[in-house]
């Protein structure tokens, strides 16, 4: 299976897939932290960072602050007055500088405090829905320059981030922890249900008795599990050092789900496991949660007609997912095996000589594939027996 492209490319593909496959997004269902620039900004001010320590000191003293993270030279056209510092960044110094009325300018790497007590003069024609002077200035500077602007409210003790046109208010760490732990419990339930249908799907694959309905059930649960995991991952970024234990639990719960999800789409896409399957994966990633519950939409995503009855439609796996569970079998070899033999049933019935003829396999790897498939069948039988 091909490597994942950079996130910017995946985002653009997802937008294309949404339009191409007839799905729509609703802003209320989008986590604003899906925006890469905003997530990077949250990471800079997460608990455990020097910047967050300084901001927390400002909040505890019931002071306000306006902090701009950007290139001081590129932002200079906004300055009026102020005190030039060019001092190493220290959280204690940030707290002391916040006692002055003006903005504080920090370099993007949070290594130097460049200016303090600066009056910022952004373009007043830039629209703003903010009511307070500090927040209006922060929003306009962010929109005009693309810099990260942090506004600390003196009256409400809240921290609001502005990055470009994005706005995000940080919740108290205790609230984020409570929400994330609750989400972990939900993820655990999702994962248990996913394991049940994956086990059944594997058994049906070895019996060559899979229907489209079996595939759609697994696809739905895998997509929901992945989506919940992604949300928790963003929570972990916001939690910083406070989220270390949750990261460990998340890694254990997620396991191979993302890889299995991709393999399922490549196994069962009606057209091909390549470009069409990649587009389907991006469309799946962009679908609304409510769309994931619609089997008809999921069937269309995999290239099947809307009028197909999933319960009656027999389908055969190409073998990507099962082969990926054989230890030390490279992705390139898996692609060659699927390309030359066509589907999992043919791979299972292939002789030693048939497998050796595949590019990149050879005698040793052919034996490993045959032995690996035999072990997977045995383990599947044992696992299903234990669930009864």
Residue 141 lies in a domain: yes
Specify whether 345 is located in the same domain as 270.
no
CATH number at residue 278: 1.20.1260.110
Residue 229 lies in a domain: yes
DSSP-derived secondary structure letter, 256:
T
User: Is pTM, for the whole model, over 0.85?
Assistant: no
C-beta of residue 197 within 8 angstroms of C-beta of residue 210? no
Specify whether 181 is located in the same domain as 150.
no
Specify whether 234 is located in the same domain as 108.
no
H/E segment holding residue 114: strand 112-120
Specify whether 139 is located in the same domain as 182.
no
Tell me which residue range forms the domain holding 330: 318-388
Specify whether 163 is located in the same domain as 182.
no
Annotate 320-360 with DSSP letters as a single string.
Answer: HHHHHTSTT--HHHHHHHHHHH-SHHHHHH--HHHHHTSTT
Residue 359 lies in a domain: yes
CATH number at residue 122: 3.40.1700.10
Specify whether 67 is located in the same domain as 162.
yes
CATH number at residue 388: 1.10.150.20
Specify whether 53 is located in the same domain as 70.
yes
Specify whether 285 is located in the same domain as 371.
no
- Count of domains for the chain: 3
Take residue 148 and report the two structure tokens written for it. 């990260």
pLDDT at 384: 58
Identify the domain boundary among 285, 315, 345.
315
Specify whether 268 is located in the same domain as 309.
yes
SS3 120: strand
C-beta of residue 102 within 8 angstroms of C-beta of residue 82? yes
SS3 110: coil
Q: How many CB atoms lie within 10 A of CB 315?
A: 18
Residue 1 lies in a domain: no
Per residue of the chain (388 residues), give pLDDT as tens. Answer: 444 444 444 444 444 444 444 444 433 356 888 888 999 999 999 999 999 999 999 999 989 999 999 999 999 999 999 999 999 999 999 999 999 989 999 999 999 999 999 999 999 999 998 988 999 999 999 999 999 999 999 888 899 999 999 999 999 999 999 999 999 999 999 999 999 999 999 999 999 999 999 999 999 999 999 999 999 999 999 999 999 999 999 999 999 999 999 999 999 999 999 999 999 999 998 888 888 889 999 999 999 999 999 999 999 999 999 999 999 999 999 999 999 999 999 999 999 999 999 999 999 999 999 999 999 988 877 565 555 4
Identify the domain boundary among 123, 151, 169.
169
Specify whether 53 is located in the same domain as 159.
yes
pLDDT at 31: 82
Residue 5 lies in a domain: no
C-beta of residue 92 within 8 angstroms of C-beta of residue 57? yes
Alpha-carbon distance 323 to 344, whole Å?
9
Residue 13 lies in a domain: no
Alpha-carbon distance 147 to 105, whole Å?
11
End-to-end Cα separation, the chain, in angstroms: 34
Specify whether 138 is located in the same domain as 112.
yes
Alpha-carbon distance 147 to 164, whole Å?
7
Identify the domain boundary among 139, 169, 199.
169
Residue 278 lies in a domain: yes
Specify whether 184 is located in the same domain as 106.
no
Residue 30 lies in a domain: no
Take residue 215 and report the two structure tokens written for it. 């595939």
């Amino acid at each position: 299976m091909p490597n994942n492209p950079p996130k910017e490319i995946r985002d653009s593909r997802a937008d294309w897939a949404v339009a191409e496959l007839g799905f729509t997004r609703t802003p209320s269902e989008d986590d604003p932290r899906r925006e890469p620039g905003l997530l990077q900004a949250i990471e800079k001010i997460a608990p455990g960072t020097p910047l967050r320590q300084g901001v927390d000191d400002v909040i505890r003293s019931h002071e306000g602050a306006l902090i701009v993270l950007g290139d001081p030279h590129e932002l200079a056209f906004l300055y009026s007055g102020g005190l030039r510092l060019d001092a190493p960044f220290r959280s204690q110094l940030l707290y002391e500088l916040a006692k002055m009325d003006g903005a504080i300018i920090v370099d993007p790497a949070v290594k130097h405090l460049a200016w303090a007590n600066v009056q910022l003069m952004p373009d007043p024609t830039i629209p703003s829905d903010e009511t307070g002077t500090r927040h209006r200035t922060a929003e306009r500077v962010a929109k005009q320059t693309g810099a990260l602007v942090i506004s600390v409210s003196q009256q409400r003790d809240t921290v609001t981030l502005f990055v470009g046109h994005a706005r995000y208010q940080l919740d108290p760490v205790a609230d984020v922890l409570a929400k994330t732990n609750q989400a972990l419990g939900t993820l655990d339930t999702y994962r248990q249900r996913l394991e049940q249908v994956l086990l059944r799907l594997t058994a049906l694959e070895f019996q060559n008795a899979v229907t489209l309905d079996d595939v759609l059930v697994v696809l739905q649960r895998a997509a929901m599990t992945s989506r919940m995991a992604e949300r928790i991952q963003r929570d972990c970024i916001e939690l910083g050092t406070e989220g270390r234990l949750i990261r460990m639990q998340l890694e254990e719960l997620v396991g191979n789900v993302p890889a299995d999800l991709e393999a399922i789409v490549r196994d069962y896409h009606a057209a091909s496991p390549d470009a069409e399957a990649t587009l389907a994966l991006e469309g799946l990633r962009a679908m609304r949660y409510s769309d994931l519950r619609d089997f008809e939409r999921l069937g269309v995503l995999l290239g099947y007609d809307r009028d197909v009855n999933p319960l009656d439609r027999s389908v055969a796996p190409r073998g990507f997912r099962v082969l990926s569970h054989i230890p030390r079998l490279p992705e390139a070899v898996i692609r060659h095996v699927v390309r030359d033999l066509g589907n999992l049933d043919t791979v299972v019935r292939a002789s030693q000589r048939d497998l050796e003829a595949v590019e990149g396999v050879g005698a040793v790897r052919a034996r490993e594939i045959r032995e690996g498939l035999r072990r997977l069948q045995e383990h599947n039988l044992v696992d299903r027996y234990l669930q009864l």
